[in-house]
Amino acid sequence: MRAETGILSADETAFLTRQRVARLATADAAGAPHSIPVCFAYNGRNLYIALDEKPKDVRVTRLKRVRNILENPRVALVADRYAEDWDLLAYVMVRGRAGLLEPGVDEHTAAVRLLRGKYQQYEGMRIGESPVISVHPERVASWGALDVASGGAEPLLDALRGRRSVRRYLDREVPGVVIDKVVEAARWAPSPHGTQPWRFAVVTQSETKKRLADAMGEEWRRNLEMDGQDAAVVEKRLEGSRGRLLDAPVLLLLCLYPGDLDAYPDPERQRNETVMAVQSLGAAAQNALLAAYEQGLDAGWMCAPLFCPEEVTTALGLDPELVPHALLTLGYAAGDPPKRRPRRPLDNLVVYRD
């Protein structure tokens, strides 16, 4: 068991943020306990719990947990994992002081964005009209296998369905050990002949992000102007793209390295060799996205480097033989991700069964 005062460790943060439900324990002024499962979000400083619009017989201010907090703000929140393999058991318990954030307060607005970013079900609920419970951690206790994947019945499918593309991130550093786990997952992707014909560039420094954004922006401006885009539209699109690069705590650039490819005497087989390598780079990107989600991170996928590879390699001082293909932004979501596009029915996608 580990117990300490202060902020959660990297493993505790990853474990806590990837849990979908926790138990909130409160007590009234007389010390009578009350515990209830809750959905929650964590921004690195405080935990937030919505008082949503599920049918209730009383006003939210008369809910037992709310009345307890108003009488006695000391609370505990526990997120745990049970598995039949007891080597996978784990929990994180946060003790602290709770309060109510009322609508109209900046922190309330940010908390609602954070909750909607984690739970797509909240997108259609009016949680912004009700108070939000805020818990400020004072002590943390944890135990067990925090650093292993969830023991759920369908953990991979849950991750595939739960992961969403994010454009806005909290101004919060991503621990280096978490970044390493994301890149480690990427390198285990399948590749032609097992050659791993890719290289990864990790960018975390503000100056480097700005240099990269400037280089990519100038080339994109030329492309948009060549397409006949209105000047105001060009500036707006460039500002949005630049913001995505500068605001993300981590940028992960995925590059193809042709030097690792097999050489063939005929052009057709050589083209196919390159296509196989590009396909495997996509697999590496998917591995990284799923690992980021499993670590409690959010991510976005940008293909902009494809359109300005020389500018990207020059800005980062990379080997000119590298061919940038994709840029993943990594961090902790600051607000509502774009609504997920609906998936086509499976029967519309499967063209052959036998």
pLDDT digits (tens, 9 = 90+) for 27-67: 999 999 999 999 999 998 999 999 976 555 567 778 999 99
DSSP letters along 225-257, please? HHTT--HHHHHHHHHHHHHHHHH-SEEEEEEE-
Q: What are phi and psi of 76, to 5 degrees?
A: -135, 145
Domain 2-152 has CATH 3.30.70.260: no
Q: What are phi and psi of 235, to 5 degrees?
A: -65, -40
State pTM to two decimals.
0.70
| pLDDT: which is higher, 148 or 125 | 125
Q: What is the largest CA-CA distance in the chain?
A: 83
Residue span(s) of the chain under CATH 3.40.109.10 come to 176-331
> Average pLDDT in the 254-276 region?
92
Residue span(s) of the chain under CATH 2.30.110.10 come to 2-152
pLDDT for residue 223: 79
* SS3 assignment, position 47: strand
> Average pLDDT in the 183-195 region?
94
pLDDT for residue 337: 65
Model confidence band, residue 203 (pLDDT cutoffs 50, 70, 90): very high
CATH of 176-331, one of 3.40.50.12500, 3.40.109.10, 3.40.50.150, 3.90.1150.10: 3.40.109.10
pLDDT for residue 55: 54
- Dist. CA 274–CA 257, nearest whole Å: 10
| pLDDT: which is higher, 220 or 191 | 191
Model confidence band, residue 268 (pLDDT cutoffs 50, 70, 90): very high
pLDDT at 85 over 90: no
